[in-house]
Amino acid sequence: MSGAVLVVGGTGEARDLAGRLVDSGIGVLTSLAGAVARPRLPEGEVRIGGFGGPDGLRDWLVGHRPLAVVDASHPFAARISRSCVVACAATEVPLLRLERPAWAPGEGDRWHEVDDVREAAEVASRLGRSLLVTTGRRDLAPFAALTEVRVLARCVDPPTQPLPSHVEVLLDRGPYTVDGEQALMREHGVDVLVTKNSGGPLVAAKLRAARELGVAVVMIRRPAPAGAPTVPDVDAALAWVQGRLPDDVATSHRP
């Protein structure tokens, strides 16, 4: 894939960027971690599976020599973002982080911000008795230990470990509507929403639904940035890639 762009994907922004690159005639390979059984595939080439940490990614970059790397992974995919920073620095491959802005509380929100899933479970158990947990199937252990509350865990794929009877799993995937989220919260008597600050519009309806119903929100803060230059949207990422095209290639992509 020499001369193409490696997009570290898994987000809607990554899919949009891959499509824009393909439309612009720029080669693109999107890498997906394989954490979701039936991922939404982007345009262009796709690889599924990890690189084996920063050393594995460094070796991959040396062997494939991409034009640039755009890390458009999930805001909470801290491991791959760190690997990108280390591997790209070692190989002098240009790196950009594409990360949508975080959500911010507004008037009427009852947010309780925490640093991790374990703290989220602790705080949520003090705030209510019926929790809607949308942190993902891999983060359910602290909630499974909360035997004094009811937990509705919404996941894309089924959890890999058995869960106790007070944890009900709802398999579903966004985008969601405010009306639908309110109906779900009313049906299950939800008084606390637990979520990660992933940002973006795809699953933001739950926050407005919680605000309008007076449901408390336990919001897990994003991990610290890995250190790459960052842009907030696909337009800026596309412009950055186009600015790194070789002169002869860039000329052919001008309108």
- 130 and 207, same domain (yes or no): yes
Dihedral sign for Cα atoms in the order 11, 234, 69, 4? positive
CATH number for the domain harbouring residue 132: 3.40.50.720
Residue-level pLDDT at 35: 75
Q: What is the pLDDT of residues 98-114, one digit of tens each?
A: 999 999 999 999 999 99
Q: How far apart, in whole angstroms, are the C-alpha atoms of residue 78 and residue 65? A: 23
If one counts the domains in the chain, the total is 2
- 148 and 216, same domain (yes or no): yes
Domain that holds residue 27: 5-100+224-252
Q: Is residue 106 part of a domain?
A: no
Enclosing H/E stretch for 180 = helix 178-187
How confident is the prediction along the chain (255 residues), in pLDDT tens digits per residue?
667 999 999 999 999 999 999 999 999 999 998 877 788 899 999 999 999 999 999 999 999 999 999 999 999 999 999 999 999 999 999 999 999 999 999 999 999 999 999 999 999 999 999 999 999 999 999 999 999 999 999 999 999 889 999 999 999 988 899 999 999 999 999 999 999 999 998 889 999 999 999 999 999 999 999 999 999 999 999 999 999 987 645 434 444
- 49 and 142, same domain (yes or no): no
Residue-level pLDDT at 27: 95
- 73 and 125, same domain (yes or no): no
Instruction: Give the pTM.
Output: 0.90
Q: Is residue 182 part of a domain?
A: yes
CA proximity to 33, closest of 76, 94, 96, 89: 76
Residue-level pLDDT at 247: 61
Q: Is residue 105 part of a domain?
A: no
Residue-level pLDDT at 160: 87
